[in-house]
Amino acid sequence: MDLPAADAALLPAGGAGAEDVFGRFVEEAAGEWTVRRYGTVASTQDIGAGLPAWCAAVAECQSAGRGQWQRAFTSDPGGLYLTAVLPFDGDGARWRGFALAVGWAVAGTFRAQAIARLRLRWPNDLMIEDRKVGGILVSQGKADTLCVGLGLNVRNRPWEREPGLSAVACRLADFAQEEQLGTGFLARAILGAIRAAYVRFSHDGLSGFVEELNQSWGTAREVRLELAAGAPTPELSGRFRGILPNGDLLLEDAAGSCIAVPSHLVRRLHERRDP
């Protein structure tokens, strides 16, 4: 697959390519994947919801990018915004936690490129030290497809649009070599990681990833868990110690005792930052 470098035009001069309700795109084969490249779209997840399995949508920027719980995801030019569409058997319980497996596979791909400080933050964030460089969102597309969305800060500076991100976000360009920053290189690596995670998760489920995931969180951190409505308490605090094979979070209190917190009750995990 020969996707363009991040600083090149996304679409060929003269507007060549096809067009759909989301805009003009160029379509090309990438091994098992069929990739559609767009300029500006509202969200690649919206495009992916209408595509068949083993297709992917890649955009230069998004005007309405979103993350977990419909939170806005700033998607300015210079980043990589991608949705990969996978087959889905309709068993939502079986695929619970798949975003964690994707995160582990993508993080491993980057670490193999000597970006050693990259880690995961539960449930779907890619972090470099204590700053977010990317996020993952898994949602159902059609009745028989899953959409795996990934937004990655590459050369962009999202904090210039959203000043509040200046203390919590970073970009890959400040940690990687120039040859690692082309959208072609990144898209190939990410699609390969997503496919590998899908194949393995199909056989092993989340429990098959737990040991490796628990090595991917970085140093144990103090966290605050924001819990969903209906939970016995609105929040819990402690030291995040990883996840259990069923996906529950393991939280250590000040006395050193650990409790299991059901993942479906956790609306958000906030890492406490050093003053």
Fold of 18-213: BirA Bifunctional Protein; domain 2 (3.30.930)
Residue 75 has pLDDT above 90, yes or no: no
Where residue 274 falls among pLDDT bands split at 50, 70, 90?
A: low
Fold of domain 222-271: SH3 type barrels. (2.30.30)
User: What does the pLDDT look like over 230-266, one tens digit per residue?
Assistant: 889 999 999 999 999 999 999 999 899 999 999 999 9
Pairwise CA distance, residues 43 & 85, whole Å: 14
Residues of the chain with CATH 2.30.30: 222-271
The phi and psi torsions of 102 (rounded to 5 degrees) equal: -65, -45
- If we measure between CA atoms, which residue out of 113, 117, 153 comes closest to residue 132? 153
State mean pLDDT over 85-92: 96
Helix ranges (H only) for 71-125 are 98-111
Q: What's the whole-number average pLDDT of the chain?
A: 89
Q: What is the pLDDT of residues 4-51, one digit of tens each?
A: 333 333 333 334 578 888 888 899 888 889 999 999 999 999 999 999
Give the contacts of 101 (CB within 8 A, at least 6 positions apart): 197, 200, 201, 206, 209, 213
User: Has residue 66 got a pLDDT over 90?
Assistant: no
**Structure confidence at residue 14 (pLDDT):** 37
> 111-151 pLDDT, tens per residue?
877 677 899 999 999 999 999 999 999 999 999 999 999 99
The pLDDT of 222-233, averaged and rounded, is: 93
Burial degree of 273 (CB within 10 A; 0-12, 13-18, 19+) = exposed
Does position 92 have pLDDT exceeding 90, yes or no? Answer: yes
Tell me whether residue 94 is exposed, middle or buried, using C-beta atoms within 10 angstroms of its C-beta: 0 to 12, 13 to 18, 19 or more. Answer: middle
This prediction has a pTM of 0.89
Task: Write down the pLDDT at residue 69.
Answer: 65
Percentage of the residues of the chain whose pLDDT score is greater than 90: 71
Amino acid found at 42: A
Q: State residue 73's pLDDT score.
A: 82
**Residues spanned by CATH 3.30.930.10 within the chain?**
18-213
